[in-house]
Chains A and B, each alone.
Chain A
Amino acid sequence: MGAPRSHRATSESRVRPSSPLYLVALCAILGAALLAHLRVAGTSPVVWMDTFNDQVEVRRCIEDDACTLTGVQTSIRGLYAAVSWLDLRTLAAWSGASLDQVHLTVILLNALAVVLVFHLASLLGGGIAGSLAALFFIARLDDLVPMTALHNSVLLFALGAVLVIACTALALRPGIASVTLAALVAAIMANTHLVCLVTGVSVVALALTAPRHRLPLAALGGGVFALATIAIAPTGWLENAIALLQSPGARTTATIAGVDTSTMGGALFGVVAWAAALGARSPAWKIYRRRVDGAVAVVAPLLIVFLGASLLGTPAEAKYLFHIKAAVALAAALPIAAALTAAARALGAARALPLVEALAPFVATIAIALPGVALSGNAVAAAQHQTPTVGDLVKTVQILGGELGWSPTQLLRQLKSPSGNAVLTGALQLAGHQPRTAAGDSDARTTAFLLVLRSSDLPRAVPSTWRILRRSTNAATVLVLARSPIDWSDFEVCTSTGAGAQQCRRGEWQYSEVTGIYVSGMPPGGSGWRGELRLRLRMYSAEKHAPAVLFLPRSPLECGGSVLSASEGSLEVDSSRRLATLDQRRTTAHTPSTIEIAWNVGSRVCAASSYAGLPPFFIEGDRASVGPLVAALRAKRGGL
Chain B
Amino acid sequence: MTLASALLGGLPPGAAIALTVADSLAGYLRPLCLTPEAGRTLQNLMDTGTLRKPLADGSSISGGAIRPHSIEISVRDTGGHSHRLALALPGSSLSGPRIGAGNRFTFHLAADSDAPSAAATDSLLELAKIIDEAIPETALVRCANEAAPRTDRRFPVAWILVGAILQLCVLVAATSYGLNAIRAGTQ
Contact = CB atoms under 8 A, between A and B. Distances in A.
A90 B160 contact: yes
A241 B164 CA distance: 24
A188 B173 CA distance: 13
Contact of A169 (B150, B156, B168, B185): B185
B91 to A, nearest CB: 14
Given A70-B153, A235-B29, A514-B33, A162 B165 contact: no
A512 B186 CA distance: 58
Size band of the interface chain B makes with A: 35 or more
B171 A185 contact: yes
Given A68-B145, A513-B147, A181 B173 contact: yes
Nearest to A158: B171
A69 B147 contact: no
Contacts of A61: 157, 160
Contact of B186 (A14, A57, A87): A14
19 contacts: A53-B146, A64-B154, A66-B150, A90-B160, A116-B179, A123-B182, A123-B183, A169-B179, A169-B185, A173-B181, A173-B184, A188-B167, A188-B170, A188-B171, A239-B30, A241-B25, A242-B29, A514-B33, A514-B68
Contact of B171 (A90, A162, A239): A162
Interface of B: 18-19, 21-23, 25-26, 29-30, 33, 36, 68, 143-147, 150, 152-157, 159-161, 163-165, 167-168, 170-171, 173-175, 177-179, 181-186
Contacts of B153: 69-70, 235
Contacts of A11: 186
Contacts of B26: 239, 242, 246
Nearest to A234: B153
Interface in A489-521: 512-515, 520
6 shortest A-B CB distances, which residue pairs?
Answer: A172-B185, A66-B154, A169-B178, A91-B164, A165-B178, A514-B147
A27 interface: no
Report which residue of B143, B160, B175, B179 has the largest number of chain A beta carbons within 10 angstroms of its beta carbon: B160
Interface string A226-246: 000000100100110110011
Nearest to A167: B178
A159 interface: yes
B140 to A, nearest CB: 13
A219 interface: no
Contacts of B157: 61-62, 65, 67, 90, 94
A9 to B, nearest CB: 14
Contacts of A72: 145-146
B170 A165 contact: no
Contacts of A84: 167
Contacts of B170: 181, 184-185, 188
A168 interface: yes
Nearest to A54: B146
Contacts of A57: 146
Nearest to A246: B22
Interface of A: 11, 14, 17, 53, 56-57, 61-62, 64-73, 80, 84, 86-88, 90-91, 94, 116, 119-120, 123-124, 159, 162, 165-166, 168-169, 172-173, 177-178, 181-182, 184-185, 188, 232, 235, 238-239, 241-242, 245-246, 291, 512-515, 520
B161 A168 contact: no
Contact of B167 (A73, A88, A94, A181): A88
Given A91-B161, A181-B177, A188-B167, A239 B29 contact: yes
Given A61-B160, A73-B144, A184 B155 contact: no
Nearest to A119: B179
Nearest to A58: B160
Contacts of A182: 174
B182 A181 contact: no
Contacts of B152: 68, 70
Report which residue of A124, A159, A181 has the largest number of chain B beta carbons within 10 angstroms of its beta carbon: A181
Nearest to A514: B147
A238 B25 CA distance: 8
A181 B178 contact: yes
A17 B23 contact: no
A90 to B, nearest CB: 5
A166 B174 contact: yes
B179 A123 contact: yes
Given A172-B182, A173-B185, A87 B145 contact: no
A89 B157 CA distance: 12
B77 to A, nearest CB: 29
Contact of A67 (B144, B154, B178, B184): B154
Contacts of A165: 174-175, 178-179, 182
A87 B22 contact: no
A551 to B, nearest CB: 33
A173 B183 CA distance: 10
A242 B22 contact: yes
A185 B174 contact: yes
